[in-house]
């Protein structure tokens, strides 16, 4: 990453920390209480993180197994943590997939297998989200507008993924060879850029063919692991808030967690640039007391974002930074020679 990009990262994180500091200070001046959690709540939060990371690692491991690709659970955990680190320091989480790609390449997987594994994992994430949202719509059916907002956020994300998948499938059937079509030239694709797109489309076409032969048992296991990971992420705020305010209703904590976690993925600034913190204040300002609000925000972000970023930096930091420096075709070449 260039110095300019690192400056953007620093400014974005400074904005996020500034909003958090303001909320802590305002809560402290009103109530005179620091945002502390009991020791058992920290242990519980760390346990939730452990379950979530392991579930995602198992999901990636079983996603690979479903299509006949061998991927160790430890390596899968390193992949997902490396993606978390890259997502945290890039705009709109754009660095996650290149980082995951290169970590998988270092494990010796060929390019076609990597693309297919990541495609299957993304698809199962979508399936598990639909399952979790459907379950919450039933369990929390009296929660009114929050359910509608939650369904809207996940629905928009589903449509986006679905459109991308359909477009990729359509193009993979038609445009895997030859010169760039007129519409691609109008979008600025020259011959070299279009060849890179064609290579990716040929890999996608081969991947879709292999997906028909996926093992059902491994796919089911991966879907269950994905559902556990989503449930664990949504349960983090419940653990933190109810440790200091046990009378707080569970429904808004779970529902708003889903909106904030998945809605923040479209924030253009690295780390959200304060958007997550500001949205947290809007969501819970009328539900939580000022000191509870500040403490919950600090510890929720610590355990749901900053800890993952730290773990990812420790697990695959050098690989992630190399992935962010190199061009996609260089990653492909590296994967082929791995």
pLDDT score at 231: 92
Nearest to 323 by CA among 81, 103, 32: 103
Please check whether residue 267 is in contact with residue 273, taking contact to mean a CB–CB distance below 8 angstroms.
Answer: yes
pLDDT score at 331: 52
Nearest to 92 by CA among 5, 204, 217, 184: 5
Please check whether residue 315 is in contact with residue 56, taking contact to mean a CB–CB distance below 8 angstroms.
Answer: no
Cα→Cα distances 219→109, 222, 223, 225, 302, Å:
19, 5, 6, 10, 32
Please tell me the distance from the alpha carbon of residue 250 to that of residue 25, in angstroms, as a whole number. 26
pLDDT score at 142: 64
Residue 95 three-state SS: coil
pLDDT score at 189: 59
Cα→Cα distances 247→32, 37, 241, 242, Å:
21, 16, 9, 7
Please tell me the distance from the alpha carbon of residue 212 to that of residue 48, in angstroms, as a whole number. 34
pLDDT score at 314: 94
178's tokens: 């030859």
219's tokens: 């796919």
With a cut of 50, which residues of the chain have pLDDT below it?
A: 328, 334-338
Q: What is the mean pLDDT of the chain?
A: 79
140's tokens: 């929390």
Q: pLDDT, tens digit, for every residue of 212-261?
A: 778 889 999 999 999 999 999 999 999 999 999 999 988 889 888 888 88
pLDDT score at 199: 65
307's tokens: 């800890």
pLDDT score at 336: 45
* Number of neighbours of residue 314 by Cβ within 10 angstroms: 11
Please check whether residue 83 is in contact with residue 312, taking contact to mean a CB–CB distance below 8 angstroms.
Answer: yes
């Amino acid at each position: 990453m260039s110095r300019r990009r690192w400056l953007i990262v620093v400014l974005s994180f400074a904005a996020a920390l500034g909003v958090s500091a303001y909320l802590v200070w305002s809560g402290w001046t009103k109530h005179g209480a620091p945002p502390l959690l009991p020791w058992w709540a920290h242990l519980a939060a760390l346990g939730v993180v452990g379950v979530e990371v392991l579930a995602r690692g198992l999901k990636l491991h079983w996603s690979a197994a479903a299509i006949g690709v061998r991927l160790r659970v430890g390596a899968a955990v390193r992949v997902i943590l490396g993606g978390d680190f890259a997502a945290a320091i890039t705009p709109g989480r754009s660095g996650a997939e290149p980082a995951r790609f290169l970590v998988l390449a270092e494990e010796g997987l060929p390019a076609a297998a990597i693309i297919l594994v990541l495609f299957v994992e993304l698809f199962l994430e979508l399936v598990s989200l639909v399952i979790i949202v459907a379950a919450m719509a039933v369990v929390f059916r009296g929660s009114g507008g929050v359910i509608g907002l939650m369904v809207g956020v996940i629905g928009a994300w589903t449509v986006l993924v679905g459109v991308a998948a359909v477009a990729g499938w359509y193009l993979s059937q038609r445009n895997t060879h030859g010169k760039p079509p007129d519409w691609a030239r109008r979008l600025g694709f020259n011959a070299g850029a279009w060849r890179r797109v064609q290579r990716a489309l040929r890999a996608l076409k081969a991947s879709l063919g292999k997906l028909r032969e996926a093992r059902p048992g491994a796919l089911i296991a991966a879907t269950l692991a994905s559902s556990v990971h989503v449930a664990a992420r949504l349960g983090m705020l419940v653990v933190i808030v109810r440790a200091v305010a046990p009378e707080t209703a569970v429904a808004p904590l779970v529902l708003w967690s889903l909106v904030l976690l998945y809605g923040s993925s479209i924030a253009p600034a690295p780390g959200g640039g304060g958007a997550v913190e500001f949205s947290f204040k809007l969501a819970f300002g009328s539900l939580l007391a000022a000191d509870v609000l500040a403490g919950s925000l600090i510890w929720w972000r610590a355990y749901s974002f900053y800890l993952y970023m730290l773990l990812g930096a420790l697990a695959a930091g050098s690989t992630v930074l190399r992935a962010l420096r190199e061009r996609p075709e260089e990653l492909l070449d590296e994967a082929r020679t791995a």
